[in-house]
Amino acid sequence: MDATAAALLLDHYDSARRDLPWRSDSPDPYRVWLSEVMLQQTTVATVTPRFLRFVERWPTVEALAAASDEEILGEWAGLGYYARARNLIACARKVAADGGFPVTEAGLRALPGLGAYTAAAVAAIAFGQPAVPIDTNVERVIARFYGLTERSAVPAAARAFFPGARNGDVAQALMDLGATLCRPRAPACPACPLWKHCQAAASGTPEAFPAPKVRKARPHRFGIAWWVRKDDHVWLVRRAQQGLLGGMAALPGPEWQDERPSANAIAIHRHGFTHFTLDLLVVPAAEPPDGEGWWQPLQGIADAGLPTLYARAIKAALTAEREPRLAA
DNA sequence: TAGACGTGGGT
DNA sequence: TACCCAAGTCT
């Protein structure tokens, strides 16, 4: 039905597409998969340098599969949503053991960390399959193009929009459009190749499509991180594999709680997570707590593979030690 | 199925 | 400061 719109979109894409390091006329499935997993809920600007470091260190899925958990989690540190890294490891090892990536959408969907979107994206982009990847950009552009307020109506509309041939390019073109012109707020309609065919633009209030999602308020929580120094080292532990920051290096400490604890902190780091904010109190202790851990040299601690929460808390503690008057 | 799950940049 | 948003997945 919308061969015209898809053709206009592809013409625009062929002349104006962004040059991103995982894009190629002959895509490497490993690079497509790695980039798609990194891009889940993460911006192109954040992913680009991290992607380049990953593929330089591990140029193939076999090389990645042969790396240790600690190496990969350390390279992922700071990217967030660490379940992605744990699934990345499991997926790489399965693909390497199987001798390559599955070619079909269903086969890809069965791999760890590949949901409906990523399986369709890899199938379409890397293998030229007629899959229809629907991410937040595609959802927004399609909803606006057809004047849909209900997000539940988008998948059927998207299947009508996608031509079947060049679905990977159509998807990337829609994502580029969503990121640069058809933005959530203040869309740049006059510059859009679909402007004259777009229902939302014709309505005069394109931002009203699709209807906004309802959001809940974030609670506030508190935590204690023990600050145990010896010479120029600090005691670190590895967090449990499941749950928040699962498998990542961390300062030791008890479970976080809803009430503010009374403790003699040398620094307090406030950190925002998706579903709550945290005040992490950094509290000096003389000896490491019971359990596994190691002495991490403070030299180059910023590159030690810590998630941002702990990298920032340690930085605040070191600053407080240097300038006690500034401590919270 | 709704909540858990990170972080950085824009406004 | 605070909220929005980002190439989602898993349970």
Residue A123 CB-density burial (10 A; 0-12 exposed, 13-18 middle, 19+ buried): buried
3-state DSSP assignment of residue A14: helix
A325: pLDDT strictly greater than 70: no
| Residue A202: domain span | 3-208
Q: Clarify whether residues A244 and A316 are in a common domain.
A: yes
Measured between alpha carbons, how far is A180 from A89 in angstroms, rounded to an integer?
Answer: 32
| Per-residue model confidence as pLDDT tens digits over A194-208 | 999 999 999 999 999
Measured between alpha carbons, how far is A190 from A182 in angstroms, rounded to an integer?
Answer: 10
| Per-residue model confidence as pLDDT tens digits over A35-46 | 999 999 999 999
A136: pLDDT strictly greater than 50: yes
Q: Clarify whether residues A192 and A227 are in a common domain.
A: no
Q: What is the pLDDT of residue A328?
A: 45
Whole-number average pLDDT of chain A: 96
Residue A214 lies in a domain: no
Q: Clarify whether residues A75 and A21 are in a common domain.
A: yes
Q: Clarify whether residues A115 and A77 are in a common domain.
A: yes
Measured between alpha carbons, how far is A314 from A230 in angstroms, rounded to an integer?
Answer: 14
* Distance, Å, A10 CA → B10 C1': 29
Q: What is the pLDDT of residue A1?
A: 52
Reported as half-sphere exposure (CB side, CA atoms, 13 A), residue A125 has a value of: 25
Q: Clarify whether residues A203 and A233 are in a common domain.
A: no
* Distance, Å, A203 CA → C1 C1': 35
A327: pLDDT strictly greater than 60: no
Buried b (16+ CB within 10 A) or exposed e, A169-192: bbbbbbbbbbeebbeeeebebeeb
Nearest residue for C9, CA–C1': A115
Q: Clarify whether residues A199 and A225 are in a common domain.
A: no
Q: Clarify whether residues A196 and A288 are in a common domain.
A: no
Residue A38's nearest nucleotide, by CA–C1', is C7
Q: What is the pLDDT of residue A16?
A: 85
Residue A215 lies in a domain: no
Q: Clarify whether residues A289 and A193 are in a common domain.
A: no
Residues in chain A: 328
Share of chain A above pLDDT 90, in %: 92
**Which CATH number belongs to the domain containing residue A171 in this structure?**
1.10.340.30
Please state the domain count of chain A.
2
> Which nucleotides on chain B have any atom < 7 A from a protein Cβ?
3-9
Q: Clarify whether residues A252 and A182 are in a common domain.
A: no
* Distance, Å, A301 CA → B1 C1': 41
Q: Clarify whether residues A167 and A225 are in a common domain.
A: no
Q: What is the pLDDT of residue A276?
A: 97
> Which nucleotides on chain C have any atom < 7 A from a protein Cβ?
3-10
* Distance, Å, A300 CA → C7 C1': 32
Residue A111's nearest nucleotide, by CA–C1', is C9
**Which CATH number belongs to the domain containing residue A233 in this structure?**
3.90.79.10
Residue A18 lies in a domain: yes
Evaluate if the CB of A41 falls below 7 Å from strand B. yes
Q: What is the pLDDT of residue A61?
A: 98
Which residue in this structure is represented by tokens 């209900």?
A150
A20: pLDDT strictly greater than 80: yes
A137: pLDDT strictly greater than 70: yes
> Would you state the structure tokens that stand for residue A82, as one six-digit string?
């660490």
Residue A213 lies in a domain: no
Residues 100-139/A with CB < 7 A to strand B: none
Reported as half-sphere exposure (CB side, CA atoms, 13 A), residue A294 has a value of: 7
> Would you state the structure tokens that stand for residue A103, as one six-digit string?
């070619």
Last residue of a domain, one of A169, A184, A208: A208
Could you tell me which of A154, A193, A171 has the C-alpha nearest to residue A119?
A: A171
Containing H/E element for A93?
A: helix A83-98
| Per-residue model confidence as pLDDT tens digits over A97-108 | 999 999 999 999
| pLDDT grade for A323, boundaries at 50, 70 and 90 | confident
What is the DSSP secondary-structure string of A244-282?
TTTT-EE---PPPBSSPP----SEEEEEE-SS-EEEEEE
Residues 146-205/A with CB < 7 A to strand C: 172, 175-176, 178-179, 184-185
| Bond prior to A210 in cis (omega within 30° of 0) | yes
Active site residue A321: no
pLDDT (mean) for A191-220: 95
What angle, rounded to 10 degrees, do the helices at A44-57 and A69-76 form? 150
Last residue of a domain, one of A144, A175, A208: A208
Nearest residue for C10, CA–C1': A113
* Distance, Å, A215 CA → C3 C1': 10
Q: Clarify whether residues A167 and A264 are in a common domain.
A: no
Last residue of a domain, one of A188, A208, A228: A208
A81: pLDDT strictly greater than 80: yes
| pLDDT grade for A166, boundaries at 50, 70 and 90 | very high
pLDDT (mean) for A93-117: 98
Residue A172 lies in a domain: yes
Q: Side chain identity at A315, as an amino acid letter?
A: K
Measured between alpha carbons, how far is A321 from A323 in angstroms, rounded to an integer?
Answer: 6
Buried b (16+ CB within 10 A) or exposed e, A60-71: ebbebbebeeee
Q: Clarify whether residues A186 and A234 are in a common domain.
A: no
Residues A69, A71, A77, CA angle at the centre, nearest 5°?
A: 95
Residue A126 lies in a domain: yes
pLDDT (mean) for A71-83: 98
A121: pLDDT strictly greater than 70: yes
